[in-house]
Structure 1
Amino acid sequence: MKKKILVTGASGYLGGRLCHALVNRGYSVRAFVRRSSDVSTLPAAGDDFELFSGDVTDYPSLLAAFSGCHIVFHSAALVEPWLPDPSCFFTVNVEGLRNVIQAYKQTDMVEKIVYTSSFFALGPTDGGCVADENQVHHEKFFCTEYERSKVEADKIALQAGSDGVPIVPVYPGVIYGPGKITAGNVFARLIIERFNWRLPGYIGHGNDRYSFSHVDDVVEGHIAAMEGGQPGERYLLTGENASFNDVFDLAAIITKTNKPRFCIPMWVIEAYGWISVLFSRITGKLPLLSPPTVYVLKHQWAYSCEKAKRELGYNPRSLKAGLEEVLPWLKNSGLIKY
C-alpha cells in the first residue's frame, strides 16, 4: 500500500520543495496549509497530492489532517528574526509541536514524525568550536525570540522521543537556494541587497561563521530521516561552515564582479536595524534587518553533519556549488543584475 504523507507548513520555502520531492518519488502527499497561504508553487492537485486547510494552532483541523496518514513531516514554523508580538513564536513553534504530538497519540496509523527544528535550538558555537548533535543550548541568552521558541520546542520533541513517540528531529543550518524569497530564505534576501548596492560592504569584520544548507540537500535529508532516521535521535542537516564575507567573495568570483571594498561596522548595522523596526511599526512591513538579526551575526554558528552523512547518507553540496546555482536563478528571476 502506498504510504500517505502529511506535510505541515507545506506552503513554506522548505515545505513546498519537500512536497515536490515526495510526489516525484511516488508518495501520496497531503499538504497542510492555512486558507490564506499562497499555494501557487505547490504541485497540482491530483491522485497523489491534495491540499488540506487548517492551522497547527487549530487542533481539530490538525487532528483531521492526520487521518489516514502514515508519516508526518512537521515543517510548519514561524520563521522571523523579529515580530511586534513575540508571543506568536511560542503559539506556532511550541504549541504547534505539542498539537502534532497530541494528534499522533490520538491516531493509530502514524509510524513516524520528522520534525524540522533549527541549528538555533543547539545554540551558538562561540570559541571557534564546531558543534555536533550532543550540544545543548546554554540558555544564558537568546539572540531572537524565534531561537528561544525553537529551544523550548526541542525539549518537547526530545521528551516525546523518550516517551516512545516515533519522532526524528532534524536541524538544518542557514537554508538557501532557489525558491520563495521568504523569511526562511534570508540568504537570498541578503544576496539581493548586496547586488542592488543596498548592502555595499561586508557585514562587520567577517568573524561570523554559519553552516549553510542548500534547500534541496535539506529536503533529501528529511526524506532520508523518514526512511532511516532513528526515533529520538538528532540529525544536523547542515553544510559548509563559512562567513557572509566568504559568501560575498564567492559571489563576486562566480559573477566576475567586484568584491566589497569595506566593512560596515556592526554598530551601524544595528542602528539601521533599530530604524528599520521603527519604520516597521509604522508601515506594518517586517524589516529585513532588525536588532535580533545583528545579535545573531555577533556569534558563531558552525556545526558538523558527520552523523547525518554516516547514518542517513546525507551529502550536502559545497557553498560554491550552491552559489553557482542560486546566482543565475536570482539573475534570471530579475532580482539581481551582473
Structure 2
Amino acid sequence: MIFLTGASGLIGSHIARRLLAEGYAVRALRRSTSNLQALADLQDRIDWVEGDLLDTPLLLQALEGCEQVIHCAGMVSFAPKDAEALYQTNVEGTASLVNAALIAGISRFVHISSVAAIGRPRRKGVVDEEQKWEKSPLNSWYGETKYLAELEVWRAHTEGLPVVIFNPSVVLGPGPMDRSSTRLFGYVQQKGAFYPSGLLNWVDVRDVVAVVMASLQSRTHVGQRYIVSAGSVRYSELFGQMADCLEVSPPKIQVNSLLTTGAYYLEKFKVVFGKKEAMITRETRILSNLEIEFDNSKITKAFNLRFHSLPDTIRWTCQHLEAQIR
C-alpha cells in the first residue's frame, strides 16, 4: 500500500489516478476542508485518513501496513500573512512525516519538492541540482521553506530512510481553474491584459507522475534529487498559446518594473480595504521577471525521459477544462 499526501492537489490527484490504474492500494491523508473535486470519481477507491501532518500519532497509525510514501502535500503562497503557516506545513509537517516514516520502516519515501528549493542566486543563467542554497532576495519565503523541508528529508535519509527528491518547475495540467498553476489558464480565459517579461520553467503533470512511478520500482534513484522541468518559455509565448487554445485574445501589455510596482501597491490597497488576497506580492513581482532556466539533463538521462511538448500540454489541458469554461 502507498501512503499519499496532497492527493487533492494537481500533482497528487494525478499520481493517485495512476497508482489506482496500476493496481496499487492507496491510503491518502486529507484535511476536513480538503476540496476533493479532482478525484470526485475515485473517492470511494481511496482509503482516506482525515487529519493533519503535524499529528504524529495519527501518521504512525496511518502508516501501518504501508510500504512506501509519496509526499506531495505542501502550501504554496507568496503572501506575507502566510509566513508562519508556510513554515508549519512545509517544514514542520515534512519533519513529522519523515519521523513517522522512519519509525514505521517505510521502504521508499518520495518527496515532491520544487525548483524554488534550489535557490536563485542570480537573475539570469542555468541552474542544476548541484546549485547550493544561498540567501538571496531572489528567493521567496515559500522557496526557503521548501529548502528547509528538504533538509528534514536528507536528515531522515542519513538516519536510514530511503528517499528520492523531485524538484518540479511550474506544473501544467488539468485541474480546478481557481487553484494551483491552472489559474494561469483561468487568467488567460478571463482575458487578462498583462504579461511579465521573464521566463517560466514548466513541466507537464504527466511527466512528473511518470518519474514518480518509476522511482517506486528502482533502488538506483535512492539518495538522489532531480529537477523535473521540460524547458522554459516566455510568458508572452505561453499566454499566446493558451489564448489560441481557449479561443480568446492573449494578454498584450508587457509589465515593466514601473507597472509591476504600481500594481503591487494597488493590490496592497485592495487587501487593506477590500479584505481580499493579493495576487501580486513583492515576491511574485520579482520572480515573474527572472530569466533563470533549470537544467533537466540529469533526470532525462536517469529515467530515459522524453518530455511532453508545450503545445501538447496546453492542448490536453484545454480539452479537460472545457466543462469549467462553459
Q: Is TM (by shorter chain) over 0.5? A: yes
Aligned-partner SS, 1:69? coil
After superposition, the C-alpha distances for 1:234-260 in whole angstroms (9 at most, x for unaligned) are: 111111211212202333455566554
Shift of 1:101: 1.4
Tell me whether 118-127 or 59-68 shows the greater mean CA deviation: 118-127
1:325 maps to 2:308? no
User: Using a 3 Å threshold, how does the CA distance of structure 1 residues 157 and 142 change in structure 2: closer, same or farther?
Assistant: farther
Alignment of 1:77-88 (within 5 A): 77-88=74-85
Alignment correspondent of 1:196: 190
User: Using a 3 Å threshold, how does the CA distance of structure 1 residues 272 and 133 change in structure 2: closer, same or farther?
Assistant: same
User: Take 1:155 and 1:142, find their aligned partners in 2: how far apart are those partners?
Assistant: 20
User: Using a 3 Å threshold, how does the CA distance of structure 1 residues 52 and 255 change in structure 2: closer, same or farther?
Assistant: closer
Q: Which runs of 5+ in 1 are unaligned?
A: none
Match of 2:284 among 293, 297, 316: 293
Match of 1:275 among 266, 282, 304: 266
Contact kept? 2:189, 2:243, Cα under 8 Å: no
Equivalent AA in structure 2 for residue 298 of structure 1: N
Shift of 1:283: 4.9
Q: Normalised by the size of structure 1, how large is the TM-score?
A: 0.87
After superposition, the C-alpha distances for 1:180-236 in whole angstroms (9 at most, x for unaligned) are: 335532xx3233223323x31332xx3x22220111221112112222352220111
Alignment correspondent of 2:223: 232
User: What CA RMSD, in Å, does the superposition of the two structures yield over aligned residues?
Assistant: 2.3
Alignment correspondent of 1:217: 207
Q: Normalised by the size of structure 2, how large is the TM-score?
A: 0.90
Match of 1:94 among 77, 91, 96: 91
User: Take 2:109 and 2:118, find their aligned partners in 1: how far apart are those partners?
Assistant: 20
Instruction: Work out the number of aligned pairs and report it.
Output: 324
User: Take 1:142 and 1:260, find their aligned partners in 2: how far apart are those partners?
Assistant: 25
Q: Which runs of 5+ in 2 are unaligned?
A: none
Aligned-pair identity (%): 23
User: Take 1:330 and 1:40, find their aligned partners in 2: how far apart are those partners?
Assistant: 13
User: Take 1:230 and 1:120, find their aligned partners in 2: how far apart are those partners?
Assistant: 21
User: Take 2:228 and 2:283, find their aligned partners in 1: how far apart are those partners?
Assistant: 24
Alignment correspondent of 1:51: 48
User: Take 2:3 and 2:276, find their aligned partners in 1: how far apart are those partners?
Assistant: 31
Contact kept? 1:270, 1:290, Cα under 8 Å: no
User: Using a 3 Å threshold, how does the CA distance of structure 1 residues 272 and 220 change in structure 2: closer, same or farther?
Assistant: same
User: Take 1:9 and 1:310, find their aligned partners in 2: how far apart are those partners?
Assistant: 28
Match of 2:166 among 160, 166, 170: 170
More helix by share: 2
After superposition, the C-alpha distances for 1:48-86 in whole angstroms (9 at most, x for unaligned) are: 521111111222222211111001001110111225141
Equivalent AA in structure 2 for residue 122 of structure 1: I
User: Take 2:164 and 2:256, find their aligned partners in 1: how far apart are those partners?
Assistant: 40
User: Take 2:4 and 2:96, find their aligned partners in 1: how far apart are those partners?
Assistant: 14
Alignment of 1:96-245 (within 5 A): 96-108=93-105, 110-124=106-120, 126=122, 128-185=124-181, 188-197=182-191, 199-203=192-196, 206=197, 208-228=198-218, 230-245=221-236
Equivalent AA in structure 2 for residue 223 of structure 1: M
Contact kept? 1:125, 1:300, Cα under 8 Å: no
User: Using a 3 Å threshold, how does the CA distance of structure 1 residues 252 and 101 change in structure 2: closer, same or farther?
Assistant: closer
Equivalent AA in structure 2 for residue 192 of structure 1: G
Aligned-partner SS, 1:77? coil
Equivalent AA in structure 1 for residue 9 of structure 2: G
Shift of 1:156: 2.3
